[in-house]
Structure 1
Amino acid sequence: MVSIDLDRLRTDFATADLDEADREEALQLLLRDRRPRDADLLRHLLAQETAAHREGWGVSEAMGLAALLLAECGREEDVWTLWEAKNASFDTMAGLDGFLLFPAGIAGTTAHVIAAEDHPERHDLMAYMSEYLGYEKLTDEDVREHLAALRTYHEG
């Protein structure tokens, strides 16, 4: 039974009181019906998941799905929200995939981070991205394929 009105949530998400189950339901609906204008809603849901994960253990399916859906929006500025989610706890650092940190592809996202000279997380994110890219020797095609595999997992 669906209790979330996705159309209403799309317009009123900032004032909606969503618990863990509501967020998970909303994310499952967005998995099937994500629209370009849903990026703000997805940032909001990921921020709520991030806050919840700072207080607990593990990495929930909802956290991984929220990060994936936001990364799929393809906006370079979302790297900061994704980095904050990855840094929520020891478990999220280990459990959220580094591929998610390249929402606008490797060159676009990296250029955005490099240009953000005043961002307080710039140095740490650049170091992580550099190490990740050096270790994995990633291409944009690798990122796309991995995100597609994550989507298949969540659709499973």
Structure 2
Amino acid sequence: MAVNSEAQFVTFSLGEEIFAVPVEVVREILDHEEAFKIPHGPDYLLGLRDVRGQGVPVIDLRLRLGLSRTTKTPHTRILVLDVPVEQRMLALGLVADRVYEVVPFQPSQIEPAPDIGIRWKSDYIAGVVRRDGGFVVIIDLARLFSDSGTALAGVVASQRVA
């Protein structure tokens, strides 16, 4: 067992903030295209996108995290992810303002979400890493989408049928 086994993460930005997801959940990175709208979905569900014959729900991660809606630029990308959630694999497209690189982090670099003395919506944070004078927030995707409501669950159920 390697003591300092590093993990690889894909880094991306939402506004000025840098986030990361484990590289093993990233299926591919696509240019942004408008998604097929789904009526009555939560505001962060932009719709469906055909990814190699599979209907993949596209999520505006900025809205899911309580930030302002994404404004499309030439750098906007969609990270297509396969996220293990509650004994199934959930295919999702996350909209990112910009995707940067794959970076290795040592387990010793990853700090827990900060404790600010009160309860706050930090359960989606798997950890933070100090980098280049700032922080990279590692997102716990399973936690972020495990309680995502019936509209997204309906989309996931239709993925399994196809």
TM-score per shorter chain, which class?
under 0.3
- Higher fraction of helix: 1
Instruction: State the structure with bigger RCO (CA 8 A, min sep 6), 1 or 2.
Output: 2
Q: What's the TM-score, normalizing by structure 2? A: 0.23
